[in-house]
Amino acid sequence: MKLSKIILICTLIFPFLAAKTLIAQGSYSVLIGTVKEVRSGIWLTVESEKDKTVFNFRIGYKTVYLPSRYPNAGEKVKVEYSKHQDALVAYKVTIVDAETGEPLAPAPEKDDGPVWNVGDSWKFRYSDKKERQQTVERIEGNLYILSDSSEAYKLCIDQRTLGIVTYLNPEGRKMKPTNLLNLYLNFPLHTGKKWTRIVTAKAHGTAYELDYLNEYRVMSYEDIIVPAGKFKAFKIGLKFSADAGVRSRYSPTSGTAYVYYSPEVKFYTKVLLDKSNLWVDTQEFELISFSLRDKQSLREKLLPASERAQTSVSATSPSAANTVTVTGTFANIRSGAGNEFPIVLWGQTLAK
C-alpha cells in the first residue's frame, strides 16, 4: 500500500519537475511573426510568419524583451514560449529586423545631444508636399542661427534643447515664436525618460493665446525609414493639453504627436500627428536629405563684429522670475510646487 502511494505521488510530481527543468534549460517553442498588438501589458498578439495563424501570448514582469521595450505593432519578433494551464506564456520576446531576421541593436544608454557645425543642413518634405531646407549659418553663444529656404527670417535654436528661442527678420529684429509645435528636447535622451514643458501658442481661428502643457516621453529606440534613408531614432510621444480653465471656451484643446529624433542625423527624421483638429494649422514632415559638415574654425562660424552687432541675440539663461517647476498639473505649475524639471517661459523673456 505504501509503495502504491509513493508511485502515485511520483507520477503526479514528475511532470512538474520535468517542466521546471525544461524552463530552466530554455527549452521553449519558438514562433516568428508580426506583432498585431500589445494589450494592457498582459497580452501579446502575433501573426505567424509561416501560415498567418494569430497567437495570443501571456506576458508579464518575468518576460524578457530584447531590446528592452515592448514591440510595436507591425514589428517582426521571435517569441520563445511554453504552454501553461491552457495559455501560451512568452518567456522571451526578441525584436528582429524585418529583412535580415537579426536582433535589433539595443538602445544606447543615453544620447547627450547633437553638436552642429556651420554648413550642416536638413531638407524636409511637409504634408502639403512642399519642401524646406534648414542650414546652420553661424553659432552665437548657446544659439544656432539657421536659415530656412522658404522663409525670409532666420531661426534661433537653443543648443541645449533644439527648441526655437526666437526668429530674426531680415532687419535683425526679434520675433516671438507662436507656432504650436515648438519641440523642446531634454538631453540626455534615454528610453523611458519623461519631461514636461509649457508652450504658449495661438488658439486656432482666434487672436488669443493659450498655455499648453506638453508631456514628453521617450517611448523606444527603433528603426525609422524616411526618404533620406533608414536610421535608428528615439521615438518620443508628445501629449498636448490646454488648461482646464479654457477648455470650455476653445476647442479642440488636446492632441498627440510622435517625434523621431536620430542621433545619427543629429535632428528630427519624422513627426507624425494624431487626427485631432488641434493640428489643423500644423503639418507633419519627414527628412528627405541631409548634409553634415566637419567641424569648422571659429572664424568661419562667426560674422564680423559690425554685422554681428545688428543681429546678435542674447543667449543668457532667463532669470528665476521666468522659470517655474512642473509636476504634471497646471495647478502645481502655477503654485511652483515640486522640483521635477525647470520650464523656461522664453516668451516672457523675449517680450521685454
pLDDT tens digit string along 262-317?
Answer: 999 999 999 999 988 778 888 999 999 999 987 544 434 444 444 433 444 444 43
- Each domain of the chain, given as residue ranges in start order, spans 23-96, 121-350
pLDDT for residue 136:
97
pLDDT for residue 341:
38
Model confidence band, residue 216 (pLDDT cutoffs 50, 70, 90): very high
Model confidence band, residue 195 (pLDDT cutoffs 50, 70, 90): very high
Calpha distance 83→89 (Å, rounded): 6
Is 23-96 in CATH node 2.30.30.60? no
pLDDT for residue 23:
39
Q: What is the mean pLDDT of the chain?
A: 77
Is the pLDDT confidence value at 211 over 60?
A: yes
| Residue for grid cell 530552466 | 24
pLDDT: which is higher, 184 or 201: 184
Determine how β-strand 209-226 pairs with β-strand 229-242.
antiparallel
Is the pLDDT confidence value at 249 over 90?
A: no
- Which tens digits make up the pLDDT trace of 180-191? 788 999 999 998
- Residue 39's CB is within 10 A of a number of other CB atoms, namely 11
Is 121-350 in CATH node 2.40.360? yes
**Is residue 332 classed as helix, strand or coil in its secondary structure?**
helix
* Lookup: cell for 7: 508511485
pLDDT for residue 257:
93
Region 140-157: mean pLDDT is 92
* CB neighbour list of residue 319: distance below 8 Å, 6 or more residues apart: 349
Look up the pTM and report it. 0.60
- Contact (Cβ atoms closer than 8 angstroms) between residue 274 and residue 282: no
